A and B are shown apart, each in its own frame.
Chain A
Amino acid sequence: AQSVTQLDSQVPVFEEAPVELRCNYSSSVSVYLFWYVQYPNQGLQLLLKYLSGSTLVKGINGFEAEFNKSQTSFHLRKPSVHISDTAEYFCAVRGSSNTGKLIFGQGTTLQVKP
C-alpha cells in the first residue's frame, strides 16, 4: 500500500521569497508522483509529475520538484512566489499497477503575504 505525508499543513511566506513544500511517500513498489494545486473554489490542476528519468521535474507557473528515492521525498519548490500562488497544494502518489488510483496527502496551504 502507498501513503503520502505532507509535512506542513500551512506555509506562510512573503511575496518574492522562495518556498519549499515538503512531501514524503511510502510504497513497496515503484511509484509515480504528482503535485496538484487547488485554488479557492476550484478543482485540482496538475502542476507537475514524475514518471521516470530526470529526478528534477519542472512544472507550470515556475514550480519544480525533485524526486529523491533514497529519502522517499518529492518536495515542491519555487524560487520566488507571487500573491497569486496562494492556494492549497496536494502531493499524490500512484503505484505502478494498471489502475490510475491516486493517493493524496493532506494538503499544504501556501499563504503568500505582501
Chain B
Amino acid sequence: DSGVTQTPKHLITATGQRVTLRCSPRSGDLSVYWYQQSLDQGLQFLIQYYNGEERAKGNILERFSAQQFPDLHSELNLSSLELGDSALYFCASSVTSGTSTDTQYFGPGTRLTVL
C-alpha cells in the first residue's frame, strides 16, 4: 500500500459524459501527478500540481482539467468523453515539487471505460 488513494476504482460511462476522478496523496506530500495508461499510448504524464498550483503540464487534452484543493487532494475532470479516453488513470504523489531526491508513489488507479 503506497498511501495514495484513488476513487472510484472503476468507472463506466457513455460517450459525451463528464466524470471526476479523485486522488488523496500520502500524508505530507505536496505534489500530485496524474498519468494516463492506455494500450496505444502507454503511460503518459498529464499534469502536476504542487501545493495547490499547477506545476507542469504534459499531453493533457483541453477537455480534461485538474485542480488541487487546500487539503491537497486532487480531482481530474474529464468531459465530452470519447471512446479513446478509456484508460487507467493513475495518481501519484511526492513530497516536493520535483527535487533530485523526490520519489513518486502511485495509487492503485481508476479504470475508466467509455461505452
Question: What DSSP secondary structure best describes chain A's contact surface?
Answer: loop
Q: Is the pair A101, B56 in contact by a Cβ cutoff of 8 Å?
A: yes
B18 at the interface (CB under 8 A from A): no
B20 at the interface (CB under 8 A from A): no
The residue from A52, A100, A107 contacting B102, defined by CB atoms under 8 A apart: A100
A102 at the interface (CB under 8 A from B): yes
Q: Is the pair A101, B98 in contact by a Cβ cutoff of 8 Å?
A: yes
Chain A, interface size category, equals: 20 to 34
A52: which B residues are within 8 A, CB to CB?
100
A104-B42, A104-B43 known; A99 and B105 CB under 8 Å? no
A46 at the interface (CB under 8 A from B): yes
Please tell me the number of chain B residues within 8 Å of chain A, measured between CB atoms: 30
A44: which B residues are within 8 A, CB to CB?
90, 92, 106
Roughly how many angstroms separate A96 CA and B43 CA in the complex, as a whole number? 20
B103 at the interface (CB under 8 A from A): yes
B109 at the interface (CB under 8 A from A): yes
Roughly how many angstroms separate A103 CA and B104 CA in the complex, as a whole number? 12
Roughly how many angstroms separate A106 CA and B107 CA in the complex, as a whole number? 19
A98: which B residues are within 8 A, CB to CB?
97-99
Nearest-CB residue, chain A, relative to B44: A104
**Contact indicator per residue, chain A 12-52, by CB within 8 Å of chain B (1) or not (0):** 00000000000000000000100010000011111001011
B52 at the interface (CB under 8 A from A): no
B33: which A residues are within 8 A, CB to CB?
100-102
Task: Give chain B's interface residues, CB within 8 Å of chain A.
Answer: 2, 4, 31, 33, 35, 42-45, 48, 55-56, 58, 90, 92, 94, 96-109
